[in-house]
Amino acid sequence: MLVAGRYRLVSPIGRGGMGEVWRAADEVLGRAVAVKLLLGDQADASATARFRLEAQTAARLSHPHLVAVFDFGAWEDRFFLVMELVEGQSLGDLLAAQERVHPEQVARIAGEAAAGLAAAHRQGIVHRDIKPGNLMLDADGSVKIGDFGIAQFVDDPSTALTTAGHIVGTSLYLAPERALGRTADSASDMYSLGCVIYQLLLGKPPFTSDTATATLYQHVDTPPVPLRQRGVDISAAFDAYLLGLLAKKPEERPTAQQVSDWFRTDAWRGRAEPLPAPKPASRRAPSPTRSTAPARVSPAAAPPAPAGPSTYRLPQPTGRRRSTASRSAPARRRSTREAIRRRPRVASAIAGTATFLAAVYLGMVLFSPDSSSADTPSPTPSGPASQGVQDGQGGQDGQDGGDDRSGGQGEQDHGRPDSHEREDDERDD
């Protein structure tokens, strides 16, 4: 079968409620491609316009984790989309082969899928149909996200559900805001990715029910059970981050770029995230007690001195500086050291002075005459009388007179004639 006179369908790859995918050969360029034939009516002008717009937008995307879109059009009243052929399996096939996926592989898948979504979100494209069947693993195990733009006009809230008891489309991975009929945005893709990660680790999505409607109610109202409580061996950091992806409010979910960056580190293992590179220290205005800026030490620009005593800091070795304030720093350091060396000598001098004053005061108290002798003026001996006292004559006369007072008086009586006799002898000479 030749589609649009160019793409020869070789073998079916898969079939779903929205269409079928074929392996095909591009007979013009001679390469293998994937052709998806969509269910729809070409007469629906609005559907055709939306499909064309989304196909053109997806064709502009180029990223290692996005399936490239090559062509689109209509053939025999059916839409078709030509995409990059991914030789591998989908995550749906992986889950069918093994119930649970190892956390190491899940972390790699999550990081690569988030990186692809981040590239689409930067272009203003919302996938709207993130599920295991749309996440492919190539031969090297790398993630490829496919089917961009299809969910926008096929997976509509009015057509996502069929009769009761049947789950079709993306109800297992539908964000709460979409279940409420609101417009999908990039946060809706992140919620769907969180549901896929949850299923890879546990083997089933976070919310399941007998009907699609009941499942949608759980997306809106029921909080997800942490995986560690369900026996999944992951770190507490991984568990908490996944619950953040499944937040009910879109603004509380991390962005695709944040998720990609987070899984590229070892944070999901429970280890600390690498610290960001330190920012260069900003130069702040120096405090008034420091004189580092020349503008602050100049008289014209100096602020008024604060009231009260100033405080100073001991100078620190900060290297050579050319400001006026820094040239005075050595003098202040020398004066500070000299003041510190003089402190013991000053203290000794003060202590000696205090001791001397105390001794003088004590001597005055001990050797001053008492109050009884202060009233009687003491006799002032003359020179010869004093000489006599020094020679012990006063003591001799005192013994003859009977007491010290009479002896002293007798010395004075005998001393006066002696002085007159000497004066007479001098006159005779």
Residue ranges per structural domain of the chain: 2-84, 89-269
Average pLDDT over residues 236-252: 97
Handedness of CA 152, 153, 154, 157 (dihedral sign): positive
Average pLDDT over residues 49-53: 69
Q: What is the CATH number of domain 2-84?
A: 3.30.200.20
| Residue numbers annotated as active site | 129
pLDDT of residue 44: 61
Separation between Cα atoms, residue 62 and residue 119, nearest integer Å: 8
Q: pLDDT band at residue 385, thresholds of 50, 70 and 90?
A: very low
CA-only gyration radius of the chain, Å = 54
Of residues 309 and 341, more confidently modeled = 341
Q: 160-164, 174-178, 384-388 — which one is most confidently predicted on average? A: 174-178
pLDDT of residue 228: 97
In this structure, the number of other CB atoms found within 10 A of the CB of residue 90 comes to 20
b/e burial code for range 401-416 (CB count within 10 A of at least 16 → b): eeeeeebbbbbbeebe
- CA distances from residue 50 to 57, 306, 337, 353, 382 in whole angstroms, order as listed: 11, 73, 85, 105, 143
Nearest to 52 by CA among 61, 42, 62, 65: 42
Q: pLDDT band at residue 147, thresholds of 50, 70 and 90?
A: confident
Architecture of domain 89-269 in CATH? Answer: Orthogonal Bundle (1.10)
Of residues 144 and 382, more confidently modeled = 144
- CA distances from residue 270 to 259, 265, 276 in whole angstroms, order as listed: 15, 10, 18
Segments of 85-123 assigned E as strands: 89-90
Give pLDDT tens digits for 295-333: 443 443 444 444 444 333 434 444 444 444 444 444 454
| Sequence-distant (≥ 6) Cβ neighbours of residue 87 within 8 angstroms | 138, 139
In this structure, the number of other CB atoms found within 10 A of the CB of residue 161 comes to 17
Of residues 37 and 348, more confidently modeled = 37
Of residues 177 and 160, more confidently modeled = 177
Q: pLDDT band at residue 36, thresholds of 50, 70 and 90?
A: confident
- CA distances from residue 32 to 9, 70, 83, 85, 138 in whole angstroms, order as listed: 10, 12, 10, 6, 14
Average pLDDT over residues 105-127: 94
Of residues 57 and 159, more confidently modeled = 57
pLDDT of residue 92: 94
Separation between Cα atoms, residue 112 and residue 123, nearest integer Å: 17
Separation between Cα atoms, residue 34 and residue 27, nearest integer Å: 13
Single-letter amino acid code for the residue at 54: E
Q: What percent of the chain has pLDDT over 90?
A: 40
Q: pLDDT band at residue 78, thresholds of 50, 70 and 90?
A: confident
> Which of 197-201, 286-290, 345-349 is predicted with the least confidence, judged by mean pLDDT?
286-290
Handedness of CA 106, 111, 117, 120 (dihedral sign): negative
Separation between Cα atoms, residue 239 and residue 353, nearest integer Å: 80
Q: If you average pLDDT over every residue of the chain, what do you get? A: 73
